[in-house]
Structure 1
Amino acid sequence: MFLNYKRLFKRTGFVLAGCALLILFCNYWIVTSTSLQIFNEVEKIPPRKIGLVLGSSKILVNGTDNLYFTYRIQAAYALYKSQKVRYLLLSGENPIKDYNEPEDMRAALITRGVPDSCIVLDYAGFRTLDSMVRCKEVFGEDSVTVISQEFHNQRAIFIANKKGINAIGFNARNVNKRYSFKTRVREYFARVKCVLDIYVLHTSPKFSGPMVSIE
C-alpha cells in the first residue's frame, strides 16, 4: 500500500512539473516572439489605418469602474487624436441585453470626441482569437494596431503572427498588481490555451459572417 502511494505521489509530481514547464514555455514563447512589435509611446508607434480595441467589461461585479476598460479607452483616444489610427474597430461581446462591450466602448469614445463615422463595432469578439481572426476574415484588415494592456497585446499579436496578420500593439496603462492579480494568474493559463488553439486544436472564431468594408 505504501509503495502504491509513493508511486502515485511520484507520478503526480511529474504531471505537475510537466504542467509548470508547459506554462513557462508558452509564456516565454509569447513574450519573446512579440517583444519588437509592442509600443508604449504614441510618438514612436507607426501609423495604421485600423486600431483594434479589445473588449472588456465597463463595470466590475462590485459596481466600480473597470480600470482595464478605462485605460484602453484612454489609449485608443490617444492614438486617434495623434492620427496614429484612422478608424477604431471595437471588438467585444454582448451576450445579454444589458451587457454590451462594443457599445460601451463606442459611447466612451464618442464622449471623448471621436466621431461615430470613425468607429466600427464587432459584436462577436468573444475571445481574443475571435477578435484577431475576424479583423482579417470579416473586416478585411490584415494590418492593425492592437490596443490593450501589455500582457493582452502579447497574446493577441502572437495569434496575429500565426494567422497572417501584420499586427503591432500599443500598450494601455497597466493596472496595479494587487488590482489585477487574478487576471494575471489567469493569463498564464490563457497563453497555454492560445498555443493549443493554434497548433493543436486549430480553433476558429465562434462566428464568421459577411465581409464588412471599413471606409
Structure 2
Amino acid sequence: MKKTLKRIVLLAIFLVIALMLTNYMVSYQAKDNLYSSVNEIPKNKVGLLLGTAKILSNGNVNLYYTYRINATVALFKANKIDFVLVSGDNGSKSYDEPTTFKEDLMARGIPEDRIVLDYAGFRTLDSVIRAKEIFGQESLTIISQQFHNERAIYLAKHNDINAIAFNAKDVQGRYGLKVQLREYLARTKAAIDVMFNVEPKFLGEKIEIK
C-alpha cells in the first residue's frame, strides 16, 4: 500500500513538473512576438481574431469577447491591419462565433468587405493553420489575450507562419483564474499536437483575401 501511494505521489509530481515546463516553453518561444501597444506593433495585412463565445453560460457578456473586439478595432483604426480574419466555432446552427464577431465589428466601424470569416476555427490549432493553408497568410497578427496569444504563436512557429500577436485586455477575478488554469492543459495538448503533426479538423478550398 505504501509503495502504491509513493508511486501515485511521484507520478503526480512528475505531471505537475511536466505541465510547468510546457507552460514555460510556450511562453518563452512567444515572448519576442507579443505586443500590448498599438503604436509599437508592426503592420500586417491580416489580423487573425481568435473566437470565443459572446455570452457565458450564466447569461453575462464574456469579457474575453468584449476585449478582443476592442483590441481588433484599435488595430484597424490605427492602420495596423487591413483585414480581419475572424476564426471561430460554427459547429451548429445555433452557435456561430464568426458571424457574431462580424456583426459587432461592423457596429464599431469596420467595413464588411474588410472582414473575412473562417467557420472552421474549432480550436486554436485549426485557426492558426487554416490562416495559412486556406487563407494564404504566411505573416499575420494574432489577436487574443496574452496567455492565448502565446499558445497561438507557439503553434504558428511550428507551422512556418511568421506571426506576431496583439494582447487584448485580460480578465481578472475568479473566472479569469479558471481560464488561466485550463490554459496549462491546453498548452500540453498543443505540444502533443506539434509533436505528432496534428492537422485541422477541416481544410478545403483556398480563399483569397484581397
Q: TM-score, normalised by structure 2?
A: 0.99
CA apart distance, 1:96: 1.7
Amino acid in structure 2 at the alignment position of 1:211: K
Residue 24 of structure 1: aligned partner:
20
Would you say 1:154 and 2:155 are equivalent positions? no
Amino acid in structure 2 at the alignment position of 1:214: I
Aligned positions of 1:2-21 closer than 5 A: 5-21=1-17
Residue 114 of structure 2: aligned partner:
118
Would you say 1:46 and 2:42 are equivalent positions? yes
Aligned positions of 1:128-147 closer than 5 A: 128-147=124-143
Residue 204 of structure 1: aligned partner:
199
Distance 1:179 1:189 in 2: 16
CA apart distance, 1:97: 1.4
- Select between 91-100 and 22-31 the one with higher mean Cα deviation: 91-100
CA apart distance, 1:203: 1.0
Say which one has the larger Rg.
Answer: 1
CA apart distance, 1:98: 1.8
Aligned match for 1:167, one of 141, 152, 163: 163
Q: Note the alpha carbon deviations across 1:123-172, whole angstroms, 9 max, x for none.
A: 00001000000000000101000000000000000000000000000000
Distance 1:138 1:18 in 2: 39
Aligned match for 1:56, one of 31, 39, 52: 52
Amino acid in structure 1 at the alignment position of 2:90: N
Distance 1:121 1:164 in 2: 22
Q: TM-score, normalised by structure 1?
A: 0.96
In structure 1, the gaps of 5 or more residues are none
Aligned match for 1:186, one of 182, 185, 200: 182
Amino acid in structure 2 at the alignment position of 1:210: E
Q: Note the alpha carbon deviations across 1:42-77, whole angstroms, 9 max, x for none.
A: 000000000000000010011110000000000000
Distance 2:94 2:55 in 1: 12
Residue 104 of structure 2: aligned partner:
108
Q: Note the alpha carbon deviations across 1:56-109, whole angstroms, 9 max, x for none.
A: 001001111000000000000000000000000000011121210000000000
Aligned match for 1:83, one of 73, 79, 83: 79
Residue 97 of structure 1: aligned partner:
93
Secondary structure of the residue aligned to 1:136 is helix
Distance 2:59 2:173 in 1: 20
In structure 2, the gaps of 5 or more residues are none
Secondary structure of the residue aligned to 1:182 is helix
